[in-house]
Amino acid sequence: MALPDTQVGIRRQADVLFHGEPVGVLQELQNGFRFAYAPEWVLSSRPSVSASLPIRTAPYESVRLFPFFQGLLSEGELRRVQMRIARLDDADAFGLLLATCREDTAGAVTVRPLLEEIT
């Protein structure tokens, strides 16, 4: 889904990793979200991060955080506790993603604030 034609300044960014290898960049914009695969990943024979985000050169854009990335987040009481510990607003799913999906996720994909060193 394309974002409205209003200013789409970047608020926060994250590296998306697959088994520790950089896959692309997820951005929180003023009016939504954008995910773009890294050119190297597009040219490789590696898998997409999700069937809902098949590999392509054009970025994906949405007014809501993509369901795949929402699916990496906890729910219920654990989510409320994590939001409180991270001092995040209840609606800040992107902030929770940055705070909780750096290493130990349910799958092969992790998310780290952009420019954080990958070891």
pLDDT band at 115 (very low <50, low <70, confident <90, very high): low
Any idea what the Cα angle at residue 94 is, between residues 91 and 100, rounded to 5°? Answer: 105
Query: pLDDT digits over 5-17, tens only?
Result: 444 588 899 999 9
More confident residue, 37 or 90: 37
Domain boundaries along the sequence of the chain: 10-113
Token pair listed for 89: 């607003």
pLDDT band at 119 (very low <50, low <70, confident <90, very high): very low
| pTM of the complete model | 0.82
Distances 68 to 6, 81, 85, 90, 108 between C-alpha atoms, Å: 25, 22, 24, 19, 12
pLDDT band at 73 (very low <50, low <70, confident <90, very high): confident
